[in-house]
A and B are shown apart, each in its own frame.
Chain A
């Protein structure tokens, strides 16, 4: 029984065989049963007809002798004859009843214990010489069906047992055949396909059987060849995919390397605000790591210093606008608290269908440049100031003279007044006049000192709306003196209704001072009668006002006229060479232009423009 157990255990491994077997068994059993039933029915019918034949046989063969015996009252003979009939198949009992003298004499053979009896009565008659028939008794024949049933049953058993054995053997055979022809190959195929792995080199599948010629290839061969083809296709596909993957990996590596090694802080923010990519350089610039930014995509906005947050917010509202490089400069506070300047540029990223994928942005650390710019600005402001002081220094003698004039007048007036007061007859009108003069002179000194202090003071550019004509007039009032202009008559031609300009008074004074001193110096060697310094103003165009300073000196050397605005370029042996260069930088800082040209007749004209202020007219 061990093998059976094993067999049933293995059934789990061969479900297909098992199922096949079950179906085959069911089918064959059904057919066997039907066939057996039919056969049994036919045999039953035959036995029953045999039984009837036996009874007919008794009627035909035994009834006449028995009638003769009864007639003759030959009991001996009668019994013999009845026993003879009893030997017939399935006849179990025979009884002859003959009425004799009022009673019935009964002669019986066999027994009546059997069940399923079938009884036939026959009339015993005797024909005498007159051929008159006379009933002399009855023959009762009892046949039993038990024999038939018993035979039928034993036949059923035989058929069932033989059919069971046959079926079992056939099933085993079928099972073996299925296993041999199909299941084992299927198992091999399934094991083979299970063993297929992209990393392993596997030989093509070959069934463990004698190979069939291709013309006789069966279904399994087709399965095998299609599996092999599939495997080849998969292999090729895998190889191709590996190639693509390798290429993709290399490309990714390449771009990743490019991105990761960028000096600038590169990032890609998606439309939902999360960060697709941040270059590691963010840490160098901000002190925060890539993870910090990925965790909190708003971090950049948060570390922007409060003063620049507005610029950032405004930019974020209109990020699709193309920024020019250098347009957006912000300060961020690094993790360690240091403030750095960054320049931000970004552009929308779109796929091939034009769908917005986010923004690619780049932050550049411009702190050094900004510092340099600020330093340069400070240096320039410093230089402008130094140059102004130097110019005033050159004028110190003249300034001392101009300051001393009113001081002298004041002192002399005061002393004169004191003397008058000491006298007996003092003239009060005179004293009053003296006091008025003193007051005027004092005001003159104070005005001058105020103006000088303004020029001396170090000051950054501070734009206000300026009436240029008024500025020039006041300036001329102060400096139109021999001490400054070296005997040069100053002529002003100021345009009426000139619009105000945007400018810094002190710096514009400095420009005028330099231009006037230069012009005056240029005319030092010119005949006194020919000297003239002319300053005029005119509306240059819709947006600017022009001031020109014209001298009657020798003019500039045409070959060098472009270089006169360079720093440290001077035609004067003692000149610092800063005057015109600083004038130019001052005017350019105002958004204007400064240029020089020689006059057609004599001397040179230096002109500058200044932007008209958006405020009221002069």
Chain B
């Protein structure tokens, strides 16, 4: 999945801007999809491919920033390049804090936009691959039994088997068995790798 062609999504209420941007981005050899409103974009469906979102801040009904919040809440990995007709500090700060890649003031040079898009796509690819990895890890993690998850958490927190046995009130031998299963299920070759996977999972403590 990571090899799928990245898509650049353009959301701008101005049809002619949409059309022109689409041409420009297409001229750089990228796949483009345009939307005249945030709602149209949201209706499009799964967005887990690599790519980026070129988003106009000022739009009727749902504006750019509101869309960013919605996407961020849905954990959408798409990097966002904001476009604005008005350089407004509070809006740009809000956008950048919300994780925007770039904040471009209209009108902008083609190279500026395309560089930002390329950068965003690189990041998106990364994010998409991270996403997929995390999805795999998640699947692996979800295959663990509750006891194995407990052991997993305590192992990556740096406790010795003995200590884990004491914590869980079981014998050390049982801990060793669980630990071996965890290593196998999580496909971790070493304790260090297991710790790295745990970090990637970034598990909320209540899941443990």
| B4 interface residue (CB < 8 Å to A) | no
| A416 interface residue (CB < 8 Å to B) | yes
B18-26, B138-146, B153-161: which lies at the A interface?
B18-26
- Cβ of A471 to closest chain B Cβ, rounded Å: 24
B86 pairs with A408, CB closer than 8 A: no
Q: Which of A512-541 contact B (CB under 8 A)?
A: 528
With a 10 A CB-CB cut-off, give which of A400, A407, A410 has the most chain B CB atoms.
A400
A401 pairs with B58, CB closer than 8 A: yes
- Cβ of A203 to closest chain B Cβ, rounded Å: 115
Given A419-B28, A434-B23, A487-B60, A412 and B107 contact (CB-CB distance below 8 Å): yes
- B24, B60, B84, B85: the one contacting A412 at CB < 8 Å is B24
- Cβ of A488 to closest chain B Cβ, rounded Å: 9
A-B pairs with beta carbons under 8 A, tally:
97
State the CA gap A405–B26 with chains docked (Å). Answer: 19
With a 10 A CB-CB cut-off, give which of A408, A409, A410, A420 has the most chain B CB atoms.
A408
- B19, B88, B110: the one contacting A397 at CB < 8 Å is B88
A437 pairs with B20, CB closer than 8 A: yes
Residues of B within 8 A of A430 (CB): 23
Count of chain A residues with Cβ under 8 Å from any Cβ of B?
Answer: 32
- A411, A444, A483: the one contacting B107 at CB < 8 Å is A411
B9-17, B95-103, B128-136: which lies at the A interface?
B9-17
B110 pairs with A415, CB closer than 8 A: yes
Chain B interface residue number, banded: 20 to 34
Q: Which of A391-409 contact B (CB under 8 A)?
A: 397-398, 400-409
| B94 interface residue (CB < 8 Å to A) | no
Interface string of B29-68 (1 = CB under 8 A from A): 0000000000000000000000000000011110100000
With a 10 A CB-CB cut-off, give which of A404, A406, A423 has the most chain B CB atoms.
A404
Residues of B within 8 A of A413 (CB): 19-20, 23-24
Residues of B within 8 A of A405 (CB): 14, 16-17, 85, 106
With a 10 A CB-CB cut-off, give which of B28, B85, B88 has the most chain A CB atoms.
B85
B20 pairs with A410, CB closer than 8 A: yes
Residues of A within 8 A of B105 (CB): 404
| A482 interface residue (CB < 8 Å to B) | yes
State the CA gap A528–B61 with chains docked (Å). Answer: 8
With a 10 A CB-CB cut-off, give which of B84, B86, B109 has the most chain A CB atoms.
B86
State the CA gap A423–B28 with chains docked (Å). Answer: 10
| A440 interface residue (CB < 8 Å to B) | yes
Given A397-B88, A407-B106, A416 and B83 contact (CB-CB distance below 8 Å): no
| A441 interface residue (CB < 8 Å to B) | yes
Residues of B within 8 A of A398 (CB): 86
Residues of B within 8 A of A406 (CB): 16-17
Residues of B within 8 A of A416 (CB): 20, 23-24, 26-27, 110
- Cβ of A356 to closest chain B Cβ, rounded Å: 75
Interface string of A188-223 (1 = CB under 8 A from B): 000000000000000000000000000000000000
Interface string of A480-498 (1 = CB under 8 A from B): 0011000100000000000
State the CA gap A408–B105 with chains docked (Å). Answer: 9
- A407, A408, A423, A528: the one contacting B83 at CB < 8 Å is A408
- A401, A419, A444: the one contacting B85 at CB < 8 Å is A401
B14 pairs with A412, CB closer than 8 A: no
State the CA gap A411–B14 with chains docked (Å). Answer: 14
B20 pairs with A408, CB closer than 8 A: yes
Given A408-B108, A412-B24, A413-B23, A401 and B17 contact (CB-CB distance below 8 Å): no
Given A401-B58, A404-B106, A440-B16, A420 and B27 contact (CB-CB distance below 8 Å): yes
Residues of B within 8 A of A441 (CB): 16, 20
Given A408-B83, A528-B61, A419 and B110 contact (CB-CB distance below 8 Å): yes
A419 pairs with B24, CB closer than 8 A: yes
Residue of B nearest to A438 (CB): B20
Residues of A within 8 A of B21 (CB): 408-409, 412
Residue of A nearest to B111 (CB): A415
Residues of B within 8 A of A409 (CB): 14, 16-17, 19-21
Residues of B within 8 A of A402 (CB): 85
B27 pairs with A408, CB closer than 8 A: no
- Cβ of A414 to closest chain B Cβ, rounded Å: 9
- Cβ of A411 to closest chain B Cβ, rounded Å: 4
Given A416-B26, A440-B16, A404 and B107 contact (CB-CB distance below 8 Å): yes
Residue of B nearest to A482 (CB): B60
- Cβ of A143 to closest chain B Cβ, rounded Å: 181
Residues of A within 8 A of B26 (CB): 416
With a 10 A CB-CB cut-off, give which of A410, A416, A441, A528 has the most chain B CB atoms.
A416
Interface string of B73-97 (1 = CB under 8 A from A): 0000000000111101000000000
Q: Which 5 A/B pairs are nearest by Cβ-Cβ distance?
A: A401-B85, A404-B85, A419-B27, A415-B110, A416-B23
Offer 26 A-B interface pairs, CB within 8 angstroms, sorted by A.
A400-B85, A401-B84, A401-B85, A401-B106, A405-B17, A405-B106, A406-B16, A407-B106, A408-B107, A409-B21, A410-B20, A411-B20, A411-B108, A411-B109, A412-B20, A412-B107, A412-B110, A415-B24, A415-B27, A416-B20, A417-B23, A420-B23, A437-B16, A444-B16, A483-B58, A487-B61
Interface residues of A (CB under 8 A from B): 397-398, 400-413, 415-417, 419-420, 423, 430, 434, 437, 440-441, 444, 482-483, 487, 528
